[in-house]
Structure 1
């Protein structure tokens, strides 16, 4: 079973950002979200991940199917790289961290505390968490922030392997991850219509 979104409306700060968003993703497929800054990409991803309620419409996917990666890496600073992955593996009921260490080029850093990693290394570790969740749908918000060119290519390989194994991905990114079969969805065309205010109905200080 895949991810099916029907006529979804999303809000930020109580105001609708997007409306009428519909798409379907089957196992093995990826969807790349595009659009200018502030168009609602993060709002949509947070809604898909269940971190905020939808304004309307429906998100249909298997229970506990989505793993979400945002700008924060979600690391325990005093734990080592291996300990961080072991912690998240225990949370999600999985055991294997070796694949994540290997594929995200973290094995040489396995014993180093997260607080002593560079920004790029922390990002690789944060993304490695996806691999220990065991969840089929990855929802990713600008996952390549802080990554150098080699690490972007490394993560692209990880995503392709995930898709080849029957996984799915929804990714907000302007970076080419080497996913030629990915569908592109421009969120600009789903921009919500702002309410019309009469004189005196709105305080211009909030514009």
Structure 2
């Protein structure tokens, strides 16, 4: 499977947010997207996820068979998108049933993010960091090769950030692909990096400090 992005541009109203974004992701690869607030990092993920139409450019997913791009990706936005009245386990069970291609059970996913003890607690009673971990656990309940993550370390303490890094690297080792926006280092091995600055773009391949 290969994701190819060529010369993407984004507009909001009549304002050009960014242009000239091109990159490719193959199994096991990761892309880190950086830039100041308002530069268009989240908009780029929204375009990749099919939530926003690009002003120009193309997105091509090869090798997915009959599955469309939206059916091949997980999108975790900067909002956790959890139902506050449901328990952590119920939120993940709903996601698992809705997304299809089941992987870990809700309990197993919560254990993987260190929240097995909170499985039966309503999400409304969880801390911001715990809610973020429940949201990230959605990545584990359905098999989707492309993970789109908007500020995934938001509200996470150092131990949870390291656990997330290990989960991301394991996904890559299993042939998965990742595109993530961040203000903080994710420390992903051999990740590509693009930095968006209004309508300008810089790109580089970085090492473990990405």
Query: Taking structure 2 as the reference length, what is the TM-score of the superposition?
Result: 0.86
**Native 8 Å contact 1:17 1:191 kept in 2:** no
Q: Aligned equivalents of 1:133 and 1:6: distance in 2?
A: 28
Quote how far apart the aligned CAs of 1:188 are: 2.4
1:74 maps to what in 2?
Answer: 81
Q: Aligned equivalents of 2:17 and 2:126: distance in 1?
A: 36
Tell me which of 65, 72, 77 is aligned to 2:72.
65
Consecutive unaligned residues of structure 1, counting only runs of 5 or more, are 193-207
Change (3 A) 1:66 1:14: farther
Please provide the CA RMSD for this pair.
Answer: 1.6
**Native 8 Å contact 2:76 2:149 kept in 1:** yes
- Report which of the two structures shows the higher radius of gyration computed on alpha carbons: 1
Matched residue SS, 1:187: strand
Q: Which has the higher strand share?
A: 2
Q: Aligned equivalents of 2:182 and 2:166: distance in 1?
A: 16
Q: Aligned equivalents of 1:57 and 1:69: distance in 2?
A: 23
**Native 8 Å contact 2:28 2:175 kept in 1:** yes
**Native 8 Å contact 1:6 1:23 kept in 2:** yes
**Native 8 Å contact 1:39 1:191 kept in 2:** no
Q: Aligned equivalents of 2:91 and 2:198: distance in 1?
A: 40
2:149 maps to what in 1?
Answer: 140
Quote how far apart the aligned CAs of 1:96 are: 2.6
Q: Aligned equivalents of 2:5 and 2:103: distance in 1?
A: 31
After the TM superposition, which parts of structure 1 deviate over 4 Å for at least 4 consecutive aligned residues? none
How many residue pairs align between the two structures? 192
Query: Taking structure 1 as the reference length, what is the TM-score of the superposition?
Result: 0.87
Consecutive unaligned residues of structure 2, counting only runs of 5 or more, are 202-210
Tell me which of 128, 138, 141 is aligned to 1:119.
128
Matched residue SS, 2:133: helix
Q: Aligned equivalents of 1:112 and 1:189: distance in 2?
A: 42
Deviations 1:81-100 (A, max 9, x none): 11111000000112532431
1:105 maps to what in 2?
Answer: 114
1:150 maps to what in 2?
Answer: 159
